[in-house]
Every structure is written in C-alpha cells, then in structure tokens.
C-alpha cells in the first residue's frame, strides 16, 4: 500500500490536495456551526498557517531564483542579437495576447451584460482600493534606483532589468568574468534544489489554501455576482482553450492537447496558490520537460509573471462593462479602446501576487471615468476568480515561451512529442 502511494507523482498529489481541500472547506462552511472549531481552530490557525507558510516558502525562492536564472540564461546567449530577438519577440507576444484577452472580455460584457439590473444597494461595501502611481511612474520604476533594495523588496521588474543587464555584461566580457558566471550558475543550481525540497510540502499547502477559501466563502457571497463570475470564467476559458491553442498551432504546429496533458499540474498549482510568482520555478521546470531550452524559459517566464497578465486583463475588461452597466454609464468606442490600451499597460505594472489586479483595476476605471467605488462590489469574490485567472496567466506564459523557443530553434521537438526523454534533472512535478 505504501509503495502505491510513493508511485503517485507530486503533480497528482497536488491535485488530490486541491480536491480534498475544496471538499473539506465546503463541509466546514455548511455543516460546522461552532465558531471556535470553525474559525479559531481551522480557519484562523491550521489553514491560515499551513497555506500562508507554504506561499511564503515559495516567495522566498522567487527573487534569488529569478535573478540567478535570468543572469545565467542571458549570459549563456553568446549572440547579443539573438537576445534582442528573443526579448523583442517575447514582449510583443505578451502584449498582443493581453490585448486579445481584454478585447474578448469587453465583447463578452457587451453580449451578456453582467451588470444590467444589479441592485446597487449591494455596492455599499467599499473595498477602499487605491493606486499610488501613474503610468509614467510605472515605466520609471522598471529601472532600479538601488538594485539591492529591489532584490530585498521583491520588486520584480527592477530585478529583471538588473538581471538582464548583468547577464548581458557577462555575455559580452565572457572569459574575463568566468568567476562571476560560475557563481551565478552554482546559485541557480542551489535555488532549483531548494525548490525541489520546498515542493514536497505542496500538497499540504494546497489543501490548506483551498480549505480556507471555500470554508470562508458562503453561497450568499456568490449569488448576487453570478453573471459577473460566469462572464469572467467564459473569458478565461476562451483565452486558455481557444486563443492559446490556436497560437500554438499557428506558430509551431505542435499538438495543444499534448501540451495541456503535461502542463495541467502546473495549472492546478497556480489555481490553488493564486500567485504567478510562486509558480515560476514549476513553470520553468515543466517547460524543460517539454523540450524548451532553460536559457529561454529562465528569461521569458519571470518576465511573463510580471508583464503578461491575460487573466487579469479579462477580469478588468469584464469588470469595466459590469460597473458601467450597473451604474447606467454608456461607454462609446473611444472609451472601449482606452480600456484596451490602459488594461494592457496596467498589466505591465501588475505584480504576480494574489488579487493585485484589483489595484491596477483602479487605473483602468479612472481612464474612462467609472466610479472606483464599483470595485467594492466585486471585492468579496475576487479571491476565487483570482485562482482561475492565475492559472490562465501562467498558461499564457508557457505557451508564449514555447512559441519564442520554437522560433529561435531553442526547443527539442522530439522531447515535446514524447519521442525522447528530457534531460535527467530533479523533477519538481
């Protein structure tokens, strides 16, 4: 019996933990009425500690892993022109898919009209969400004043920029910087090994996260926003299972079904953790198992976790239509184009952490004059929506990385098609 359990892959254990957590959370929500047992023992202690401890362990890995992997990945590309090609193609694809995502969201909002007939008395709750920087500040903040402060604070865009510049210098100086190159290479190996160790606790962490989410979210919190919720899910499903597979087929002719079959465990983890940043190590590892060069994925995945927020853009597009319809505001063509542009730009400044899309949603609302108070309406169910959109975000990062890797001849197609085994490495999932 014990041997059978040992044969279950970690990815399947994560799925089991997610399902059990959902079931246990619903049982706790609807059948356990003692506040001491439900809240004090489980919700505020066991589940809170277990879930957040695991997320903190994953976040602990992100900055050093991202920095080392970007430096090593960029430094290993001897041709600077190739680096420019990879970077330019990656950013272009990320921005295009985000624009497609928010356009789909607006179309769904126009057709289904999720905010029509909503009783605005429900909007009394104010989420008090604010945004503290302009678009110009977002661009300026990409360049670190002090790279060590950015590393300490986990500011991902400045970390990526500094890592990118460091890697370019190491690639340019080559023989003169062998020692530092070796330091970053060994540091990257250490962080991957640490990731493997932390991931052994993933099923427990996922169980606690799911149980706490569904243990605290009653059905009365979902029903008034069911149309908004359904619209977001439809948009996410179209992006994940129509747009991404289509792009994969058009640009690579690879089988999307094979991709999803192998990548589903990463989507499960992203769903349960609600954070793109924490999923970076798993995403890079799984893409390596799919034949993608780590030199490419170590650059594109951290970048995507910071600027490629298709799921968030879908939520923001539908939230705009929801609020406009609820308040009886008619948005014209120019306003809709403004929403598309602002949502794409806002995604660049969106960190890959839970529910941060609500903050940048303020920027989108302000761009077309919608009342920011409307965000309070959707605040209550944002966490569960965030789980779905995070899974879409990391899937988009992976698909775009495969396209970039394929176009730059940095991918082993035989490994993707299962004709050849991936390189022997420690398996995270």
**Tens-place pLDDT, residues 34-46:** 888 888 899 889 9
Q: Which pLDDT score is estimated for 359?
A: 58
CB count within 10 Å of CB 149 equals: 11
Helix axes 156-173, 294-307, angle to 10 degrees: 150
Q: Which residue has the tokens 């940048």?
A: 360
Q: In terms of Cα–Cα distance, which of 43, 302, 56, 28 is closest to 201?
A: 56
Least confident of 59-63, 148-152, 270-274: 59-63
CA distance 234 to 150: 37
Q: Which pLDDT score is estimated for 217?
A: 60
Answer yes or no: is 421 within a domain: no
Answer yes or no: is 1 within a domain: no
Q: Which pLDDT score is estimated for 338?
A: 80
Q: Which pLDDT score is estimated for 429?
A: 43
Answer yes or no: is 372 within a domain: yes
Please give the residue that has the higher pLDDT: either 82 or 318: 318
Angle at 307 between CA 369 and CA 361, to 5 degrees: 20
Answer yes or no: is 338 within a domain: yes
What value does the mean pLDDT take over residues 69-81? 70
Q: Domain tally for the chain?
A: 1
Q: Which residue has the tokens 């890592």?
A: 163
Q: Which pLDDT score is estimated for 129?
A: 40
**What pTM, to 2 d.p., does this model score?**
0.69
CB count within 10 Å of CB 282 equals: 26
Answer yes or no: is 426 within a domain: no
Task: Say if CB 296 and CB 408 are below 8 A apart.
Answer: yes
Q: Which pLDDT score is estimated for 273?
A: 78
| 90-120 tens-digit pLDDT | 888 988 999 999 999 999 999 998 887 665 4
CA distance 214 to 30: 10
Q: In terms of Cα–Cα distance, which of 299, 320, 295, 319 is closest to 308?
A: 299
Please give the residue that has the higher pLDDT: either 74 or 120: 74
CA distance 270 to 367: 30
Residue 411 bridge partners (DSSP): 292
Confidence of residue 267 (pLDDT cuts 50, 70, 90): very high
Please give the residue that has the higher pLDDT: either 161 or 42: 42
Answer yes or no: is 237 within a domain: yes
What value does the mean pLDDT take over residues 312-330? 86
Confidence of residue 399 (pLDDT cuts 50, 70, 90): very high
Kindly tell me if the per-residue pLDDT of 290 is higher than 50. Answer: yes
Answer yes or no: is 320 within a domain: yes
Task: Say if CB 50 and CB 208 are below 8 A apart.
Answer: yes
CA distance 23 to 18: 9
CA distance 298 to 277: 13
Q: Which pLDDT score is estimated for 393?
A: 92
Answer yes or no: is 427 within a domain: no
Average pLDDT over the chain, rounded to whole?
80
CATH number at residue 253: 1.10.3860.10
Task: Say if CB 195 and CB 60 are below 8 A apart.
Answer: no
Domain of residue 362: give its range.
9-416
| 174-192 tens-digit pLDDT | 788 888 889 998 998 888 7
């Amino acid at each position: 019996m014990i041997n059978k359990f040992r044969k279950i892959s970690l990815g399947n254990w994560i799925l089991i933990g997610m399902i059990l957590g959902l079931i246990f959370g619903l049982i706790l929500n609807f059948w356990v009425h003692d506040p001491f047992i439900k809240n004090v023992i489980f919700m505020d202690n066991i589940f809170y500690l277990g879930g957040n401890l695991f997320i903190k362990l994953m976040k602990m890995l992100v900055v050093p892993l991202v920095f080392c992997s970007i430096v090593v990945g960029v430094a290993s590309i001897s041709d600077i022109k190739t680096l420019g090609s990879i970077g330019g193609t990656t950013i272009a694809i990320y921005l295009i898919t985000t624009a497609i995502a928010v356009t789909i969201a607006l179309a769904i909002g126009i057709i289904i009209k999720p905010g029509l007939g909503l009783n605005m008395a429900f909007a009394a709750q104010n989420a008090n969400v604010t945004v503290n920087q302009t678009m110009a500040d977002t661009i300026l903040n990409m360049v670190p004043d002090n790279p060590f402060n950015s590393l300490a604070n986990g500011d991902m865009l400045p970390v990526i920029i500094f890592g990118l510049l460091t890697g370019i210098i190491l690639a340019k100086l080559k023989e003169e910087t062998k020692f530092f190159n070796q330091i970053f290479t060994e540091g990257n190996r250490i962080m991957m090994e640490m990731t493997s160790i932390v991931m052994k606790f993933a099923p427990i962490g996922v169980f606690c996260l799911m149980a706490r989410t569904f243990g605290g979210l009653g059905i009365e919190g979902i029903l008034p926003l069911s149309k908004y919720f359904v619209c977001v899910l439809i948009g996410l499903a179209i992006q994940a299972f129509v747009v991404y597979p289509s792009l994969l087929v058009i640009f690579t002719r690879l089988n999307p079904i094979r991709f999803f079959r192998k990548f589903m465990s990463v989507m499960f983890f992203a769903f349960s953790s609600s954070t793109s940043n924490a999923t970076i190590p798993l995403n890079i590892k799984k893409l390596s198992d799919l034949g993608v060069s780590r030199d490419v994925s170590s650059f594109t995945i951290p970048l995507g976790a910071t600027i490629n927020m298709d799921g968030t853009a879908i939520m923001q597009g539908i939230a705009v239509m929801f609020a406009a319809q609820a308040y009886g505001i008619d948005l014209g063509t120019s306003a809709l184009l403004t929403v598309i542009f602002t949502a794409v730009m806002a995604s660049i400044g969106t960190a890959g952490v839970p529910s941060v899309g609500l903050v940048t949603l303020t920027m989108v609302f302000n761009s077309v004059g919608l009342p920011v108070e409307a965000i309070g309406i959707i605040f209550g169910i944002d966490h569960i929506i965030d789980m779905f959109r995070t899974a879409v975000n990391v899937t988009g990062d992976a698909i775009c990385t495969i396209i970039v890797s394929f176009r730059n001849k940095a991918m082993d197609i035989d490994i993707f098609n299962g004709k050849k085994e991936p390189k022997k490495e420690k398996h995270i999932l």
